[in-house]
Amino acid sequence: MELKEKLIASFMAFENQVDIDSPVHDVRSEAIKQFETQGFPSKKEEAWKYTSLNSILKHDYSVFPKHENTVEYNDVKKFFIHDIDTYKIVFIDGKYASHLSQTTHDGIDVCLMSSALNKPKYRILIENYFNKIAAKDSLTSLNTAFSQEGAYIHIPKNKLVAKPIQIVHFSTGNESALMLQPRNLIVVDENSHVQIIERHQSLTDNPVLTNTVTEIYTNKRAIVDYYKIQNDNENASLIDNTFINQKQESVASLHTFSFGGKLTRNNLNFYQNGERIDSTLKGVTIIGNKQHVDHNTLVHHIEPNCESHQDYKGIFGDSSTGVFNGKVLVNKEAQKTNAFQANNNILVSDKASINTKPQLEIFADDVKCSHGCTIGQLDESAMFYMRSRGIPEKEAKALLMYAFSNNVLSSVKIPEIKQRITKIIATKLGVNIGFDL
Amino acid sequence: MLKISNLHASVEDKAILRGINLEVKAGEVHAIMGPNGSGKSTLASVIAGKEEYEVTEGEILLNDENIDELAAEERAHKGIFLSFQYPVEIPGVSVTNFMKTAINETRKAKNLPDMPANEMLKMIREKSELLEIDRKFLSRSINEGFSGGEKKRNEIFQMAMLEPKLAILDETDSGLDIDALRIVANGVNKLKSKDNAVIVITHYQRLLDYIVPDFVHVLYNGRIVKSGGKELAHELEEKGYDWIKEEINA
Ligand SMILES: Nc1ncnc2c1ncn2[C@@H]1O[C@H](COP(=O)(O)OP(=O)(O)O)[C@@H](O)[C@H]1O
Ligand SMILES: [Mg+2]
């Protein structure tokens, strides 16, 4: 059975298992219809021209994994930012792992989507926010149809959340191939500030396909810093659909660090519903082998006096492929918009490739919009300069690549994350140097 | 220390060095002069191991070892240092951390542990004082936005940090005003000893008033066409290169 049919058939079973009275029952039913009509995206669609899902859709994924609790903290400690105190919402094979988590209801809610969907006290929030900003495309709809578990974070107004929140999804190899569909909802009310780290990590070499949807609402003057660490195993693929709805004067930044995985597609969507909003989207991609990373961003400037900053750096080795598709949409009313976009790439091998396509659709006349993309090689004269000072080729390359991505790293506000990313880059490049540039 | 015999090198099948012979002993200072385009920088790059140039004939011996097969970094580890005519900008890598990496990679190649941080700091402080370099300068990206003079001073600072056996200074004097020239020359002289050697590539007598050479060679058209003592530099300064070209063509 094709994956599409299998999923549609599984939906019936899923329906019987979850609460029919749930406020999202109709939403789910509507969503599966959407998915059924649209099917998985194909390369015929403009937005999927350079990314084919064929190779990852062919596996016979298990859609309802069993409860898995054999993972101990010490086995997976390295996947956490563990040198600072954090809240943790951890899942194993899509199921909540309480023994690895640290949630809270003390003034803020850092807990589970399943309880938010089922408990009456969350009903109003769910009605107001759940699936309100998520798109109706096939993959998002598929996730919506199966939405049941994930992180639920609500920060009421005027809270500065001191500890970062880690959302970590582990997958084990106890099922042969696994499909996961986490669903996260994050609501940050007026004047509040929160930092979130998200990671998907497979613990074996079995194929994993994660199709995740995260809705984030930043209300008036709220600040959200979001970090996605994408350094999964070679057989794990990720489709990340993130939707951020910003209200006036809010500041949202999203950093994506893509080093691992077989296929990674980031669909990142920012909607600026208010004035004086600031949106930052940054990413570093360093991949090799046959890896594929696709950043598909949208910043929709709806109201005046807002800013957006996009800065994506990519380094592609071996036969890896990259895609950057950055759309900036400026409505007629969105005067005095400042929108910047940069996408710089280095191809380390002549078999690697990158397709980069900025798309600017500007309907206002008094705006500052800039975009630039470059594709180059490592600077040979810089390489010789460094080597002539005694820095071996591999280390010299690594230093150059690190320096190239440093712009993106410099805006990371949590030092431990920066250190971790630095370490991952060093490991990835096979060098043992500190990069404390 | 360095013995070059019948060295031929070319780039993209174009012969640039066409039979160079040069011997440099420990403790000596050699000056290489010659018109633009004669191959001076090429010779320096070939000694330092730039892969772009192909050695088609002859050999370079460093302490009796043929270094033809050695990568640039391995030559650096053996004590060769090239001060670039055009130092390269490396955005995002600070001078300090570049030096830390260079020193520790060199130590690693010699199976030595990393230099302790306080020792490194002390060394950086001493050497930057020697070259009258502002500390703030050291946290900037290498050569990025540096003036011509700053770049050259930074090259000699790196030389001071790495303490090479054989230093090749390629037109280190160009772009320097007289004060900077004195500082740089003073730095080089302080580092000079009976165990190391310096090759100074220059157009002008000026630098040689400060770094006094034991030998002066004229490189023209890929060959050393004339060698002499320091008085040859004076002669070239006065008369230019035309008389040498005439001598050769005669
Ligand atoms: N990488 C290169 N590619 C092509 N030609 C080169 C290259 N490097 C040097 N040359 C040529 O070789 C000759 C010598 O250059 P160079 O060594 O820089 O001379 P000098 O330093 O004496 O001025 C020049 O004609 C120059 O154009
Ligand atoms: Mg030259």
The pairing of strands A263-273 and A236-247 is parallel
Residue from the list B94, B97, B105 with its beta carbon closest to the beta carbon of A390: B105
Identify all chain B residues contacting A384, using CB atoms and an 8 Å cutoff: 45, 50-52, 72, 88
Does the beta carbon of B165 lie under 8 angstroms from any beta carbon of chain A?
no
Please state, rounded to an integer, the average pLDDT across all residues of chain A: 94
Amino acid found at B197: A
User: What pLDDT, in 10s, does the model give residues B25-52?
Assistant: 999 999 999 999 999 999 999 999 999 9
- CA distance to partner chain B, nearest, from residue A79 (Å): 28
Q: Using CA coordinates, name the residue in chain B closest to A382.
A: B88
Residue from the list A386, A388, A392 with its beta carbon closest to the beta carbon of B82: A388
Q: Ligand 1 test: best mutation among B41, B54, B223, most atoms within 8 Å of CB? A: B41
**Which residues approach ligand 1 with their CB closer than 6 A?**
B 11, 16, 34, 36-42, 52
- As a whole number of angstroms, the distance between CA A98 and CA A101 comes to 5
Which residue's alpha carbon is at the smallest distance from atom 16 of ligand 1?
B39
Distances in Å between the alpha carbon of B176 and those of A33, B149, B172?
74, 5, 8
> Can you give the residue ranges of every domain in chain A?
3-251, 274-369
- As a whole number of angstroms, the distance between CA A107 and CA A293 comes to 38
* Overall average pLDDT of the B221-229 stretch: 94
Provide the 3-class DSSP secondary structure of residue A269: strand
* Subunit contact B72:A387, Cβ cutoff 8 A: yes
Identify all chain B residues contacting A394, using CB atoms and an 8 Å cutoff: none
Output the six-digit token pair for B154: 């930074």
Q: pLDDT confidence of A370, banded at 50, 70, 90?
A: very high
Output the six-digit token pair for A51: 């990314």
Q: CB of B196 within 8 A of CB of B162?
A: no
Among the atoms of ligand 1, which is closest to the Cα of residue B222?
14
Question: For the complex shown, is ipTM > 0.90?
Answer: yes
Q: CB of A317 within 8 A of CB of A348?
A: yes
Name the pTM for this structure.
Answer: 0.89
Torsion of CA A69, A75, A79, A82, to 10 degrees: 100
Domains in chain B, CATH or no CATH each: 2-89+150-249 (3.40.50.300)
Q: Using CA coordinates, name the residue in chain A closest to B44.
A: A388
Which ligand is located closest to the Cα atom of residue B51? Answer: 1
Output the six-digit token pair for A380: 């040979």
Provide the 3-class DSSP secondary structure of residue B109: helix
Burial class (CB in 10 A: 0-12, 13-18, 19+), A412: buried
**DSSP code at position B38:** S
Give the residue from A280, A288, A410 showing the smallest Cα distance to A349. Answer: A288
Identify all chain A residues contacting B102, using CB atoms and an 8 Å cutoff: 386, 389-391
Give the residue from A273, A270, A229 showing the smallest Cα distance to A248. Answer: A273
Give the residue from A262, A65, A99 showing the smallest Cα distance to A180. Answer: A65
- CA distance to partner chain A, nearest, from residue B94 (Å): 6
What is the b/e burial string over A151-180, where b = at least 16 CB atoms within 10 angstroms of the residue's CB?
bbbbbeeebebeebbbbbbbbbbbbebbbb
Rg (CA), chain B: 18
Amino acid found at A104: T
Q: CB of A144 within 8 A of CB of A28?
A: yes
What is the b/e burial string over A318-334, where b = at least 16 CB atoms within 10 angstroms of the residue's CB?
eebbbbbbbbbbbbeeb
* Overall average pLDDT of the B57-78 stretch: 96
Output the six-digit token pair for B34: 């010659």
* Subunit contact B162:A386, Cβ cutoff 8 A: no
Q: pLDDT confidence of B191, banded at 50, 70, 90?
A: very high
**B200 C-alpha vs ligand 2 centroid, how far in Å?**
12
**A49 C-alpha vs ligand 2 centroid, how far in Å?**
49
In chain B, which ranges are continuous DSSP H helix? Answer: 40-48, 72-77, 95-109, 117-130, 148-162, 178-191, 205-208, 230-239, 242-249
pLDDT at residue A216 in the model: 98
Give the residue from B176, B191, B83, B211 showing the smallest Cα distance to B130. Answer: B191
* Overall average pLDDT of the A399-404 stretch: 90
User: What pLDDT, in 10s, does the model give residues A204-240?
Assistant: 999 999 999 999 999 999 999 999 999 999 999 999 9
Residue from the list B82, B88, B91 with its beta carbon closest to the beta carbon of A403: B91
User: What pLDDT, in 10s, does the model give residues A334-364?
Assistant: 999 999 999 999 999 999 999 999 999 999 9
Number of CB atoms found within 10 A of residue A71's CB = 17
Q: CB of B154 within 8 A of CB of B146?
A: yes
Give the residue from A292, A296, A244, A293 showing the smallest Cα distance to A271. Answer: A244
Distances in Å between the alpha carbon of B194 and those of A25, A199, A278?
87, 59, 63
pLDDT at residue A361 in the model: 96
User: What pLDDT, in 10s, does the model give residues A297-325?
Assistant: 999 999 999 999 999 999 999 999 999 99
* Overall average pLDDT of the A187-205 stretch: 96
Which residue's alpha carbon is at the smallest distance from atom 17 of ligand 1?
B39
* Overall average pLDDT of the A193-211 stretch: 96
- CA distance to partner chain A, nearest, from residue B163 (Å): 11
The pairing of strands A151-155 and A109-112 is antiparallel
Most distant CA pair in chain A, distance: 71
Rg (CA), chain A: 21
Q: CB of A286 within 8 A of CB of A428?
A: yes
pLDDT at residue A20 in the model: 67
The pairing of strands B141-142 and B90-94 is antiparallel
CA B191 distance to own-chain centroid: 13
Identify all chain B residues contacting A392, using CB atoms and an 8 Å cutoff: 71, 73, 105, 109
